[in-house]
Structure 1
Amino acid sequence: MGCAQGKFSSACSPSTGLQKLKIENGYMEKREYAGHRRSTGLRFSGRLNNSDFPPKNYNGGFSSDGSGGGSGGDRKYSNRSGEKEGIDGDGRKDSQRALLNDTEELVDGWPKWLTDNVPKKVLASLVPKSAENYDKIDKVGQGTYSNVYKARDRDTGKIVALKKVRFDTSEPESVKFMAREIMILQKLDHPNVVKLEGIATSRLHYSLYLVFDFMQTDLASIITRPEGRLTEPQVKSYMHQLLSGLQHCHERGILHRDIKGSNLLIDKSGMLKIADFGLANYYSPEHKRPLTSRVVTLWYRAPELLLGSTDYGVGIDLWSAGCLLAEMISGWPIMPGRTEVEQLHRIFKLCGTPSEDYWKKLRLSTTFRPPKSYKPSLFEAFGEFPESSLGLLSTLLALDPAYRGSASSALQNEFFYTSPLACDLSGLPVIWREEDEFAQAREQRKHGKSKMKRRARTYRERGSKDLMAEKPKEDSTQSKEEPEKNGEPKKVQIQEPGSSTSSSSSGTKLTRQAESPPFLASPFHLLSEQ
């Protein structure tokens, strides 16, 4: 009898069976959108190693809406040229191969993505260093353009400050600001200005870290400390250090443009150092060019900036220094405005209403001209201040920037030559205790011991790997010798794929992989992810 061909049931249709086979073998259909991993937020695109994932700011990797280098939104994995992904002969995607080649390429020891965007002269005097040489301890600061971390140098155990600079190759302005900050820091060398110790890079995450000595506190914390206000000698010491640092910057044609208490760091000896040159820029009195007025924190912003001036000079830093002088004496900010308009009115109430010549000379908009005129009230407002400080305050807080003079002239003011004189560094508030130093020394010794333990563990694991690699060779040699001893001919057994022999061999491989020591991730991966 013939055998009639049966109909396909709905449960076993060819399409359903094929789909089931695809699912069992881990096949994923190509879709316009794929869900994200719950743990990492990254798009699942097969089983890739950690090094196969492109960095967050990778211009051709993870991008937001295809724009490149963004964050948030539905991220899509694409290659650098934006073409459709392909798979080469060894099963690796073109984008993965291009990414690996790019991250491995170095130019003079620096990652290629850095040398492609930063002038060579900026990196010429610096020694390339990897971000993995540092262990992040704590996040100590955060700004619009950067984050600051307390970290430990793995090689020396020294505590340093790492400033993670915003770097996005798809945004030329961010690259420009970053390169300018590095060049400015290299140009400055003064005891009252932070010194750039080096640069560290994380190639897989397009991260750039500026390395500085770690400072214990800042002037803002000193002013508001619970012990009370600073004494006059202490104020003179800090003010002299600030003006000395500004003098060094201005003589080299550099405007800081963000002088405030939190940007003036204090080391354990009491030395003040001007920091955070992220908004700094070059200027030349002989070759003036328009500069943005959207600089300086509001409470320390000069009136010409609030009125929109783009033609300014050292006067904006001196105005900020004057605000800090009054703040150190009083113990609180003298003009804490909430908006630019309110800040202008606070300035006019303290310094008086500008004259007609002021508006004409500076060519400023009269839109914010106050509805009524104010008389200067600086001497009344600061009546309890030391008499010797009033002259310097009235100079630094002059409405006309030309009357503020320079940092050099301010250092010659009678304020610094009137008794009581500025105290030595030893007379400044104590912010570093001996127990802190002992604790740091203990931490460094502990770090050295743990480093030796890690090395010893690594050597043991390498030895166990070598032994495991030799065992299969010995077993295969013995299995070959046994048939020869017994005089039995060697038998060749051919089995179909999926038979018991093939499955047992694959099971052996899985067992060996499970017995191998686990991968030891660097503790710095937390730093490079942020």
Structure 2
Amino acid sequence: MSTKHHLGDSPISYHPSAASGWADHDSPRIRKTSKAGFRPIGEPSSAVKLFFPRDEDDDEAGPASQHKSPASPQIHSEVPAKRARDEGALPAPQPMQVLPSIVRDSLKASIVPKPAGSGDVSVSPAQQSHTVEPDTEGTPRPSSPSGTTCKDLYAIVSQVGEGTFGKVYKARNVITNVHVALKRIRMEAEKDGFPVTAMREIKLLQSLRHQNVVRLYEMMVSNGSVYMVFEYMDHDLTGVLSQTQFSFSEANLKSLCSQMLAGLAYLHRKGVIHRDIKGSNILINNRGELKLADFGLARFYQKRRRSDYTNRVITLWYRPPELLFGATVYGPEVDMWSAGCIMLELFTKKPVFQGNDEIHQLDVIYRILGTPSTERWQGLTALPWYELVKPKDVIHGHFRDLFSRWLSPAALDLAERLLAYDPTQRVTALEALEAPYFKEEQPPPELPVDLSTLEGEWHELETKRERAKKRRKLENGLV
């Protein structure tokens, strides 16, 4: 998790009338119906696969959503950004039992509840013989022997993020002294079942093992809440770009960009679209290693047959133009646009395309890249919302003029290929890694190991708090 880590942050849409600027909505959850094909926690079931509908059965982009006008007053994301009601501080530690079968057996194991009123959930006897596998990357994993309670195993250090379904905490394993990130999935009303996006994230992370993808260690259950235990990362990209103690060198920036692309190349090779690449979902540790996080919106895709998906994904500032034009049939190229946005952000230290809503987002893109034409983008006029959101005036782009002060010629070339309007012309992650920017231009990539000299840890959460403090000071000064 982004530690957050941000693992829980989901895409958010800007709503001009909202006081905070972001629209919050209730999270989708699986409900207990005769058609759901599952039983809630506490009732044995082997129908776990029905938690994860096949792409062709995906109901997230039905006829109503495919042609919905973007001009509606409020734009909803597939998953809410953050719950409007604060869940409060982490409750006093309750006895927890490790549930490795949730991770290793796709949640197929039977979870047996304790007698009513006990407040805890325990695992079946067959699950008590849990053995922790060594981490393939050599990193020590948290030890969770059977019968260990949360109080015995983890000491909460601090909150480091707020996710879709709960808060994220930095915690220390008191046995191994290894720090982990605990992502709490709120399970207050048992009748509501388990959040769909959390289920998808767990399933996806089980299948992923890469040095540039965050590692899910195990699952724990306690007192109505489920905890995902992740490897801990010291910073996220949004936080680390906001600090002024340390400056990245050209070689450092090239390394971060390369690591991001390597993670995406792995995901896309495995048939996974992330669908929420943004600064707070890109984690960095003090060794300079970068890992992609928060797979709550990720989906498996079929490489040989494009499927319909919702276009209400990817945080607005990182959302590609085809989704803003209403496209629902897409693939990994949507992640590559987001990667292009992140590449520019690495150099400029702030998001480049900062729109207020979908229409304004397109206008911001036009003023940098120019308006799209059928010559630049075949199939443009066939997009569902083209007539509604097509540009009224022709605007000439000045991308290179704007960014030549930060990016080298080879870096500009790569960024332009990542930000191609036509998704079919957009460079893939593998192709990007072979670009002259990495293969020919000096200096070669170099891990930003000097991040270890930073004072404190830098996450989007701290960045938001600092901005809020400055805003309050300014307001008080004006008063």
- The TM-score by the shorter chain falls in which range? 0.5 to 0.7
Conserved? CA contact 1:230–1:329, under 8 Å:
no
Show the counterpart of 1:395.
417
CA distance 1:182–1:366, shift in 2 (3 Å): same
Residue identity in the other structure for 2:307: R
Change (3 A) 1:305 1:253: same
Secondary structure of 1:244's match? helix
1:362-415: CA deviation from partner (whole Å, max 9, x where unpaired): 454421112112223212222322111111111101111111131101111111
- Specify which structure has the higher proportion of helix: 1
1:433 positional shift: 4.3
Q: Which amino acid aligns with 1:422?
A: P
Instruction: Sort the Cα spacing of 1:160 and 1:315 in 2 relative to 1 into closer, same or farther, 3 A.
Output: same
- Equivalent pair of 2:355/2:364 in contact (CA under 8 Å): yes
Quick one: distance in 2 between partners of 1:377 and 1:182?
Answer: 43
Normalised TM-score (structure 2): 0.62
Report the Cα distance in structure 1 between the residues aligned to 2:264 and 2:244, rounded to whole angstroms. 29
Alpha-carbon separation, structure 2, partners of 1:101 and 1:389? 59
Distance 1:166 1:355, change over 3 A: farther
Deviates more, 1:99-108 or 1:354-363: 99-108
- How far did residue 322 of structure 1 move? 0.4
- Structure 2 distance, partners of 1:159, 1:228, is 24
Residue in 2 that maps onto 1:309: 327
* Aligned residue number for residue 210 of structure 1: 228
Task: Within 5 Å, give how 1:15-414 maps onto structure 2.
Answer: 99-100=116-117, 103=120, 106-107=123-124, 131-132=150-151, 133-167=153-187, 169-171=190-192, 174-202=194-222, 205-227=223-245, 230-356=248-374, 357-384=378-405, 385-414=407-436
Between the aligned partners of 1:109 and 1:367, the Cα distance in structure 2 is: 58
Cα distance in structure 2, aligned partners of 1:110 and 1:180:
22
What's 1:62 paired with? none
**1:107 Cα deviation after fit:** 3.0
Letter in 2 for 1:310: T
Deviation at 1:131, TM superposition (A): 3.8
8 A Cα contact 2:235 2:284, kept in partner: yes
Equivalent pair of 2:438/2:445 in contact (CA under 8 Å): no
| Change in 2 beyond 3 A, CA 1:97/1:163 | closer
Instruction: Name the CA shift for 1:189/1:105 in 2 (closer, same or farther; >3 Å).
Output: closer
Contact 2:246 2:451 (8 Å CA) reproduced: no
Kindly indicate whether structure 1 or structure 2 has the higher relative contact order, using CA contacts under 8 Å at least 6 residues apart.
Answer: 2
User: Out of 444, 450, 461, which is 1:422 matched to?
Assistant: 444
Change (3 A) 1:136 1:286: same
Looking at structure 2, the residues matched to 394 and 424 of structure 1 have their Cα atoms a distance apart, in angstroms, of 23
**CA distance change for structure 1 residues 302 and 197 in 2, over 3 Å: closer, same or farther?**
same
Which protein is bigger by CA-based radius of gyration?
1
- The SS at the match of 1:197 is strand
Q: RMSD across aligned C-alpha pairs, in angstroms?
A: 3.1
* Secondary structure, aligned partner of 2:420: coil
**How many matched pairs?**
328
Q: Take 1:251 and 1:347, find their aligned partners in 2: how far apart are those partners?
A: 29
Q: CA deviation at 1:416?
A: 0.6
Point out where structure 1 has 5 or more consecutive residues left out of the alignment.
Answer: 1-56, 60-69, 73-95, 112-125, 437-530
Map of 1:517 onto structure 2: none
Instruction: Give 1:422 deviation, angstroms.
Output: 2.9
Residue by residue, what CA displacement relative to the aligned partner does 1:144-199 show, whole Å, maximum 9, x if unpaired? 33321011223323221101124454335x53222211111111111111111111
User: Partner of 1:170: helix, strand, or coil?
Assistant: helix
CA 1:392 to 1:127, structure 2 compared with 1: closer, same or farther past 3 Å? Answer: farther
C-alpha separation in 1, matches of 2:455 and 2:85: 43
SS at match of 2:195: helix
**How far apart are residue 281 of structure 1 and its match?**
1.3
Q: CA deviation at 1:229?
A: 5.2
Gaps of 5+ in 2: 1-39, 43-83, 87-112, 129-143, 457-479
The offset of 1:325, in angstroms, is 0.8
Using the TM superposition, give the Cα deviation of residue 222 of structure 1 relative to its aligned residue in structure 2, in angstroms.
Answer: 2.6
Length-normalised TM-score, structure 1: 0.57
Provide the rounded CA distance (Å) in 2 between the counterparts of 1:154 and 1:229.
Answer: 34
| CA positional deviation for 1:97 | 9.9
Give the drift of 1:329.
1.5
Distance 1:212 1:342, change over 3 A: same
Distance in 2 between residues matched to 1:382 and 1:142, nearest whole Å: 33
Does residue 432 (structure 1) correspond to residue 452 (structure 2)? The answer is yes
Supply the AA of the counterpart residue of 1:386: S
- Which secondary structure does the structure 2 equivalent of 1:270 belong to? coil
Counterpart-to-counterpart distance in 2, 1:392 and 1:105: 52
Mean Cα deviation higher: 344-353 or 355-364? 355-364
